[in-house]
Amino acid sequence: MSDQIAAVTKSVEDAIATAKQNLEGLAKAQQEQIEKASAKVLKSYDELTVLTKENVDALVKSGTVVAKGAEEAGKQVAAFTQSSLEKSVSNAKALLAVKTIQELVELQKAYTKASLDAFVSESTKLQELTVKVANEALAPLNARVNATVEVLSKKVA
């Protein structure tokens, strides 16, 4: 009988030792999975941080381009306005010196044509500047959108 008790005790001890080993193995495997997952999360966080910083840098660069473009456009408009004002004053002086109605009509007609031509020319220049600034301002943003999509699509895949 004592052999049977010893055998049962040995079986129970073996079962407990096996269960203990299985639990330790399971705990170790879970710990390894948690460490791997944590490393992936930290790596992804670091990559996302870098990506976000680069996106903010591109936004700042784009804003700088827009600000410089607006400054240049403002200077261009101010110069045109001043030139137009000077031409108006000059034309007014010339109108005061006319001797005939025909001369007045011709002078006013020439002034109106020159003013309209200058306005169209200046509008074209301003439009070209606006398109140029818009393209330059969008370039860094487009590059960042492409880079972000590429990085995020790799993460999903």
First CA to last CA distance, the chain:
64
Are 41 and 131 in contact by the 8 Å Cβ rule? The answer is no
What pTM was estimated for this model as a whole? 0.65
Cα–Cα distance for residue pair 119/83, rounded to 1 Å: 11
Mean pLDDT of 62-73: 94
pLDDT confidence of residue 157: 59
Cβ neighbours of residue 108 closer than 8 Å, sequence gap 6 or more: 91, 95
Confidence band for 156, pLDDT divided at 50, 70 and 90 = low
Cα–Cα distance for residue pair 107/91, rounded to 1 Å: 8
